[in-house]
Every structure is written in C-alpha cells, then in structure tokens.
Amino acid sequence: MSRVVVTGRVPDAALEKLRAEHEVDAWAGPESIGREELLRRVAGADAIVSLLTERVDGELLDAAGPQLKVVSNVAVGYDNINVPACTERGIVATNTPGVLTEATADIAFGLILMATRRLGEGERLIRAGQAWKWGMFFLLGSSLQGKTLGVVGMGGIGQATARRAKAFGMDIVYQSRSEIDPAIAAELGARRVDLDELLTVSDVISLHCPYGPATHHLIGAEQLSAMKSSTYLVNTARGPIVDEAALAAALREGVIAGAGLDVFEHEPKVHPELLDLENVTLVPHLGSATVETRTAMAVLAADNALAVLRGEQPPTPIG
Ligand code: DGY
C-alpha cells in the first residue's frame, strides 16, 4: 500500500478509487492548503494528486522524498508544475485533458455572448435599481452572425469553441503550432493564419493556448492595438497570457470594444481598473466548474496516479 497525498478537496468518487488501493491523506480544509502544511504533509508520499492552486516545484518534490513516483494534476493546464524538475527526478507528471473540453468551451462561448451582447451591463443596471425601458438604441451590442472568430491555440477546447461559433454563423480563423486535422478544419471551415493576421481580421478573439514562457503576455499593448476597435477578447486559458494592465487601458480607451475573462494574471486578484469598466465581463475561473466535469477530472487524476503506482502507463501523461 502506497501513500497518496491529495492537496485539496476533490469529489468523493476520486477519493474512493484512491482509498480502495492506498492510504490517502487528503487536505479537507475550506481554504487552500498553506505551503508549510503542504511541504510537511507530502513527506513520504508515493503520489501527489495536485490542484492547480498548488505550486509543484523542486522544493516540494524534494520535501516528498525519493520514493515519489507521480504528480497527478487535477487540471489540463499544468503551469503550476515544474515538469522538468519532475523528469529530472524520474517522477511521472500527468494532467486531465479531454474531460473538461466541452465545459470550458461553454464558458468561452458564454463570455463571448456576455461581452458582445452586454449582458453583464444589463444585469448590473437592473440590480442597481436604475430606471430603464425598452429603447431602439438601449444597450445595443454586436451580432455574431457573419463575423470572424479568431482562436489562439486550436487544441480540443479551441476546436470545441470554434464548433459553437460555427453554429452561430461565424467564420473561423485560428493560430496554432500545427495544422489541425484537415477533416475538422473542413467541418469548421477553419483557416490557419499567423497571429498578426488573426489579430487584424477577427471580430472576436478567444484564447486557448497553454501558458508558459512562450505565451507570457502574448496579448499586450501592441497586439491590442493591432485589433479592430470593434473586437472583443475572451480568455478562458490562463491569466498571464494577457497583460492585464494593457488590457484595462485598451478597454478604457476604446482600443477594443470589450472583453470576457475567466482567468486573471494574478489570480485570484483582478486588476483594479477592470473592476470599474462596464465593457468587461469578469467570472472567477469557472471554465471546468460543473459537477460532472470536476468529477471526471478528479477521477481521471486518480486513475493516472493509480496506474503509475501499479507500474502501468498512466492514461494521460504530460508530454
Ligand atoms: C484547467 O484544467 O486547466 C482549468 O483551468 C481548470 O478549471
């Protein structure tokens, strides 16, 4: 029997799977586990099931000890994990791709609708008790039909967002490290372009690339200036892909029309200027937040850890 440390609260279905085979030490506090407590608890762990709020770096891996075999992240994004540090120590790192694709694309498209149709503004106005009545020019937004969606990062979530956009009558361009499957490109009518072209032709830009040194501030003042003043930017990937101060300035000065953000550069902090702007919709990292999706993520993370502890290939290793 091995020792598995789970760094935060996860659905019971995952804990039951882990407990059926191993001794499980799962943090159950309402707040995230503190760093000191985490460093203490991982000592002697054979597996760590980590949440994206915990930094898994060399210090943590060393605190666990040389018996540690696997770090299983309950997220598709793994910017909280120092993967080379795992590899150097012979530790397998895994994530949870696939199971949160549709839920995250739903939130991306929800933000596209909220931003372009000014739903947040309308809701705030009613809740503030402001007087209003139907008017020909009251809270007019932008239609999506016939407009162009630019998808940055055309993996599973980008493709699922593009599929929703197609159903809304949008044209699709995308920027990605590689061409997507030609059959899917044909189904979506999606054309691969470089980032510069995407920025200038898109009416809505949705970010779905992974975060890392190559994508830090991928969207900054220069890129925002390259967009049309009628463009909307949506980010459901990772906050630091966007220079939040530059975005706040662009939204305030009308450089772009609006934005929808599910993720933030210094999460959970939000740039204070964004809070005062009407043309940005802000939601608290809800991309994968459905009961079904979170359960599937946690169960997949458990399966990954269990496979490595059995000496088997995990279902979804990183890299
Ligand atoms: C992920 O899995 O990376 C998501 O951000 C979690 O919601």
For Cα atoms 129, 135, 140, give the angle at the middle one, nearest 5 degrees. 90
Ligand 1 atom closest to Cα of residue 238: 5
Residues 85 and 87: their CA atoms lie apart, in Å, by 6
Cβ neighbours of residue 123 closer than 8 Å, sequence gap 6 or more: none
Residues 97 and 157: their CA atoms lie apart, in Å, by 9
Asked if residue 76 has its Cβ within 6 Å of ligand 1, the reply is yes
Q: Where are the alpha helices (DSSP H) in 189-289?
A: 195-201, 221-226, 244-252, 272-275
Asked if residue 257 has its Cβ within 6 Å of ligand 1, the reply is no
Asked if residue 56 has its Cβ within 6 Å of ligand 1, the reply is no
Q: Which of 104, 211, 291 to mutate to test the pocket of ligand 1 (most atoms within 8 A of CB)?
A: 104
What's residue 135's pLDDT? Answer: 98
Residues 92 and 61: their CA atoms lie apart, in Å, by 12
Asked if residue 8 has its Cβ within 6 Å of ligand 1, the reply is no
Helix/strand/coil percentages in the chain, nearest 5 = 40, 15, 45
Alpha carbon of 158 to ligand 1 centroid (Å) = 14
Express as a percent the part of the chain with pLDDT over 90.
99
Ligand 1 atom closest to Cα of residue 287: 7
Q: What is the pTM of this model?
A: 0.96
Residues 77 and 191: their CA atoms lie apart, in Å, by 25
Q: Which two tokens stand for residue 17?
A: 């799977």
Ligand 1 atom closest to Cα of residue 288: 7
* Closest CA to ligand 1's atom 2: 75
Tell me the pLDDT of the chain averaged across its residues: 98
Alpha carbon of 121 to ligand 1 centroid (Å) = 27
What's residue 319's pLDDT? Answer: 86
Cβ neighbours of residue 210 closer than 8 Å, sequence gap 6 or more: 77, 79, 153, 237, 238
Residue ranges and CATH numbers for the domains of the chain are 3-99+291-309 (3.40.50.720), 101-282 (3.40.50.720)
Which are the catalytic amino acids? 238, 267, 285
Asked if residue 97 has its Cβ within 6 Å of ligand 1, the reply is no
Ligand 1 atom closest to Cα of residue 285: 7
pLDDT in tens, 166-186: 999 999 999 999 999 999 999
The stretch 106-111 carries a mean pLDDT of 98
* Closest CA to ligand 1's atom 7: 288
Helix (H) or strand (E) segment spanning residue 126: helix 119-127
The stretch 209-238 carries a mean pLDDT of 98
Alpha carbon of 77 to ligand 1 centroid (Å) = 6
Asked if residue 288 has its Cβ within 6 Å of ligand 1, the reply is yes
The stretch 213-225 carries a mean pLDDT of 98
Asked if residue 287 has its Cβ within 6 Å of ligand 1, the reply is yes
The stretch 71-86 carries a mean pLDDT of 98
pLDDT band at 86 (very low <50, low <70, confident <90, very high): very high
pLDDT in tens, 137-147: 999 999 999 99
The amino acid that residue 235 corresponds to is N
